[in-house]
Amino acid sequence: MIRSLLHVGMIVPDLEVGRAFYELFGLQARACGDDLVFRCQGRDQDQIRLMQGPRKKLAYTSLGTNQAGMAALTASLRQAGVAIQGAPFYVPFGGIWFQDPHGDWLNVQVAEPAPASTETLPPEINAHGRYRRVGLRACSVETRHKKAKPLRLGHLIKFSPDVPRSVQFYTQVLGMKVSDQAADVIAFLRGAAGGDHHMVAFAKSTHTGLHHVSFEVADLDEIEIGAQTLLRAGYRDAFGLGRHIGGSNYFHYIRDPWGSLAEYFWDIDVIPEDDSDWQPLVADSPKDVIAVWAASPPPEDFILNFEEA
């Protein structure tokens, strides 16, 4: 049923504070009514919507499916006794709205993600036995002036007071699939049509909220160029550079102005729709899925919910 992640809506107390952060992160902002929306350069799709409110809060997650998926989803929601409701926010798009077991709003549209820009691709990688960049220099003096240009919103991690219950709803009702998990503390879910290792994940907390949004960039350079740009501007470092076990992607997280995280990632695992050859990891502890290595251990507040209950 659920095939893609379209965008994430957040309520924040100051839109201009959000604009400053996400523009420096590498996104492009525009006004949309009373809201601010952000897109990746060269990609015709909203990725983040910021709405004015008294305190920071994850407002909703917008997901995509096809016509057959929408028909199956509405039948599944009806069977599960989940009410389809009117839009809880003033937004200029359609689709259906409903709440998950913990009250988080979900919007599902018949829509496919817009393609990411391929105007500027990174140089090929030379690896032992696969030398694809021959006679070409990968880095030059100009590389130091390179900027991070996020290609797409890849995934988000949400906090959940009951991770198994969230997993049950998102898999049995929405048709998503578990890629990896660690006890009842964290679980990674991909879409019904395969693709990235995870589209949505859940981390255990006392209440719901946003842990992080994650944007794909073109190479490892852009992860650190983006992170270092934000750190020089005074934003707080969170975790990275490193490489995850759950998803295998390289990462660096930076705290946004309200305590949630924004992640740059590159080189994530991709799982086919038929699940061939994929064996989900069932770990005993979150440390078994967090990182193969990192510049430093994850800080104590890495999985801490900064949103108010």
Residue with tokens 């500027």: 120
H helices of the chain, in order, are 15-25, 67-80, 163-168, 220-232, 287-290
Rounded to whole angstroms, the Cα distance separating 18 from 161 reads 27
The conformation of residue 172, written as its DSSP 8-state character, comes to I
Render each residue's pLDDT in the chain as its tens digit; 309 residues: 999 999 999 999 999 999 999 999 999 999 999 999 999 999 999 999 999 999 999 999 999 999 999 999 999 999 999 999 999 999 999 999 999 999 999 999 999 888 877 777 777 889 999 999 999 888 888 777 788 999 999 999 999 999 999 999 999 999 999 999 999 999 999 999 999 999 999 999 999 999 999 999 999 999 999 999 999 999 999 999 999 999 999 999 999 999 999 999 999 999 999 998 899 999 999 999 999 999 999 999 999 999 998
Angle at 211 between CA 73 and CA 4, to 5 degrees: 30
Give the residue among 16, 21, 12 at the shortest CA–CA distance from 233: 21
**Cβ neighbours of 284 (radius 10 Å):** 9
Q: What is the pLDDT of residue 149?
A: 94
Contact 184, 231 (CB under 8 A): no
Q: What is the pLDDT of residue 19?
A: 98
Coil, strand or helix: which one is 55?
Answer: coil
Rounded to whole angstroms, the Cα distance separating 172 from 289 reads 24
Rounded to whole angstroms, the Cα distance separating 34 from 176 reads 33
5-20 burial, b at 16+ Cβ within 10 Å, e below that, comes to bbbbbbbbeebeebbe
112-146 burial, b at 16+ Cβ within 10 Å, e below that, comes to ebbebbeeeeeeeeeeeeeeeeeeeeeeeeeeeeb
Give the residue among 37, 13, 34 at the shortest CA–CA distance from 23: 37
- Phi/psi for 215 (5° steps) reads -115, 135
Amino acid at 158: K
Rounded to whole angstroms, the Cα distance separating 247 from 259 reads 24
Q: Cα–Cα distances in Å, from 83 out to 7, 17, 105?
A: 22, 35, 12
- Phi/psi for 99 (5° steps) reads -115, 145
Rounded to whole angstroms, the Cα distance separating 223 from 263 reads 9
H helices of 135-198, in order, are 163-168
Q: What is the pLDDT of residue 165?
A: 98
Q: What is the pLDDT of residue 141?
A: 81
Contact 5, 156 (CB under 8 A): yes
